Amino acid sequence: MAMLGLSEILQPSVRKGWGIGAYDTPNLATTYGILDAAEADKAPVIILIYPAMIPPEYYPTYAAFIKAEVKRRNVDAALVLDHGPSIKEVEAALAAGFTGVMIDSSSKPFAENVAITKQVVEMAHKQGVTVEAELGHVGVGLDVLPEDQMKALYTRVEEAKKFVDQTGVDALAVAIGTAHGLYKFEPHLDFERLAAIRDEIDVPLVLHGSSGTPEDQIAKAVKLGINKINVYTDIRMAVLKKVQPLAAQPCEKFDITDIDNLTRKVTQEVVHQKNTLFGSVNKAGLYR
Indicate the annotated binding residues: 83, 104, 134, 180-181, 208-211, 230-233
Q: Distance between CA atoms of 16 and 26, rounded to whole angstroms? A: 31
DSSP string of 234-247? Answer: HHHHHHHHHHHHHH
Low-confidence ranges of the chain (pLDDT < 50): 140-144, 181-184
Q: Give, in order, the Cα–Cα distances in Å from 227 to each of 108, 143, 221, 252.
A: 25, 26, 9, 46
108-117: long-range contacts, CB 8 A cutoff, minimum separation 24: 110/159, 110/163, 113/163, 114/163, 114/166, 114/167, 116/87, 117/163, 117/167, 117/169
Please name each of the domains of the chain with its CATH number: 6-287 (3.20.20.70)
Query: What pLDDT shows up at residue 154?
Result: 87
0.85 exceeded by pTM? yes
Catalytic residue numbers read 82
* Residues annotated within a binding site for dihydroxyacetone phosphate: 181, 209-211, 230-233
pLDDT of 140:
47
